[in-house]
């Protein structure tokens, strides 16, 4: 395997499968390559002091991961591309510093460990299990949390690979009636499920009575809409996205109005509930504009972590703003039940690609030419 170790502020990763003799390498993965520097700066990077130094390109090979006490080795069956992986692709996630193996939406079969041979889906959020948050069932807020494909030790990273290791308590059994490849979307489903439950807690009225806007027609947006529609019974639902191809896909699976963000029906102070699954400054500005007095904004996306926001309206009109991150272990387990029992309908909105073709998948998502809400890579 090889990787360009680039400064994170200038890195635009270009994921590709590295090595022509890839069949000889058992542990295959993606690594970042390339950056958007001007031609005169090509081949350089900036160090912590702002000085220009030569970027190193080192061709690396990985051994199969070794078994650690309390963990298992999983042969990956499927791994989904998350929006946060795209943040890394664009070099806009300071938590994902190259070189690294991305990927955290993963399912597969355990090949070594006390749960050997079990077909499993992995909760990629690894926590300390001892802090006040872990002990109170809010593990996702653990200050020492790490995530597969983000900030685990270099040798034990993400799931765009053939093999991965995780603690045994992060492993959930996949029921026989759930396709192991479909089980890989348990993680984004849990993210959306948690977000909707937060809205349930905050809302003064049942969600099926709320006029609701979901910003973004990607996997998280579609899953929020499905949960709102099929579990919460919401029939007054709108999904907005600038990508008409994505909207067309969403309309196949959920009973919702699908429109562009500038559609005339997205009016000021007209929605009880807004889910921002995009996380851009412009989407937040629209969310605070269109939410009603006393309404709720659930903020899931993290594409652009800073920017202006109309705090005056939020204050004077008592708008509830909820930031949401991941899910609890309990909710992750409930999500598997939701998928197993087809509570969101058939999972036909996944597009499967071979791991070696992941390069093209990332590029299509970036270019906006991909219509599928979710692409899952198969080793």
pLDDT of residue 151: 66
Q: How confident is the model at residue 62 (pLDDT cuts 50, 70, 90)?
A: low
CA distance 117 to 103: 22
Contact 217, 252 (CB under 8 A): no
Are the folds of 2-174+349-378 and 190-323 the same? Answer: no
Rg of the Cα atoms in the chain: 21
Predicted structure pTM score: 0.83
Q: How confident is the model at residue 85 (pLDDT cuts 50, 70, 90)?
A: confident
Write the pLDDT tens digit of every residue in 311-331. 999 999 999 999 998 999 999
For 1-10, 74-83, 127-136, 246-255, which range has the lowest pLDDT when averaged over its residues?
Answer: 1-10
User: Residue 329 has which token pair?
Assistant: 């272990």
Write the pLDDT tens digit of every residue in 249-300. 999 999 999 999 999 999 999 999 999 999 999 999 999 999 999 999 999 9
Helix (H, G, I), strand (E, B) or coil at 326: coil
CA distance 149 to 164: 10
User: Residue 365 has which token pair?
Assistant: 């998502």
Q: Could you report how far apart the first and last alpha carbons of the chain are, in Å?
A: 16
User: Residue 39 has which token pair?
Assistant: 């031609």
Write the pLDDT tens digit of every residue in 87-133. 776 666 667 766 677 889 999 999 999 999 999 999 999 999 999 99
CATH superfamily of 2-174+349-378: Medium-chain alcohol dehydrogenases, catalytic domain (3.90.180.10)
Average pLDDT over residues 178-202: 97
| Burial of 21 from C-beta contacts in 10 A (0-12 / 13-18 / 19+) | exposed
CA distance 287 to 284: 5
CA distance 256 to 364: 26
Residue ranges of domains in the chain: 2-174+349-378, 190-323
The dihedral over CA atoms of 113, 25, 80, 138, expressed in degrees to the nearest 10, equals 40
CA distance 155 to 284: 37
Task: State the CATH architecture for 190-323.
Answer: 3-Layer(aba) Sandwich (3.40)
Look-up of token digits 């022509």: 20
Q: How confident is the model at residue 155 (pLDDT cuts 50, 70, 90)?
A: low
Is 17's pLDDT higher than 70? Answer: no
User: Residue 337 has which token pair?
Assistant: 């039940």
**Helix H or strand E segment including 114:** none
């Amino acid at each position: 395997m090889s990787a360009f170790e680039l400064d994170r502020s200038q890195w635009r990763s270009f994921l590709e499968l590295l090595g022509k003799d890839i069949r000889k390498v058992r542990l295959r993965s993606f690594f970042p390559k390339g950056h958007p520097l001007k031609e005169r700066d090509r081949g350089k990077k900036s160090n912590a002091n702002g000085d220009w130094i030569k970027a190193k390109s080192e061709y690396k090979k990985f051994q199969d991961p070794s078994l650690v006490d309390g963990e298992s080795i999983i042969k990956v069956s499927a791994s989904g591309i998350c929006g946060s992986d795209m943040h890394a692709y664009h070099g806009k996630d300071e938590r994902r510093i190259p070189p690294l193996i991305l990927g955290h939406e993963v399912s597969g079969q355990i090949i070594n460990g006390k749960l050997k041979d079990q077909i499993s889906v992995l909760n990629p959020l690894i926590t300390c299990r001892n802090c006040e948050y872990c002990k109170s069932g809010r593990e996702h807020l653990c200050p020492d949390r790490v995530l597969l494909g983000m900030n685990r030790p270099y040798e034990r990273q993400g799931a765009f690979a053939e093999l991965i290791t995780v603690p045994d308590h992060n492993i959930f059994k996949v029921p026989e009636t759930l396709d192991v490849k479909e089980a890989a979307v348990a993680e984004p489903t849990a993210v959306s499920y948690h977000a909707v439950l937060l809205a349930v807690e905050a809302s003064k009225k049942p969600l099926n009575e709320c006029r609701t806007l979901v910003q973004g027609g990607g996997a998280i947006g579609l899953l929020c809409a499905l949960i709102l529609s099929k579990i919460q019974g919401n029939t007054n639902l709108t999904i907005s996205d600038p990508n008409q191809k994505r909207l067309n896909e969403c309309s196949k699976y959920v009973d919702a109005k699908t429109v562009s963000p500038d559609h005339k029906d997205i009016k000021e102070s007209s929605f009880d509930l807004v889910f921002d699954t995009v996380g851009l400054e412009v989407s937040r500005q629209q969310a605070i504009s269109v939410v009603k007095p006393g309404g709720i904004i659930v903020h899931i996306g993290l594409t652009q972590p800073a920017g202006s926001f109309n705090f005056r309206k939020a204050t004077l009109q008592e708008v509830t703003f909820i930031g949401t991150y991941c899910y609890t272990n309990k909710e992750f387990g409930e999500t598997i039940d939701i998928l197993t029992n087809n509570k969101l309908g058939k999972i036909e909105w996944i597009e499967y690609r071979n791991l070696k073709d992941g390069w093209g998948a990332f590029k299509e998502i970036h270019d906006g030419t991909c219509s599928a809400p979710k692409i899952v890579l198969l080793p």
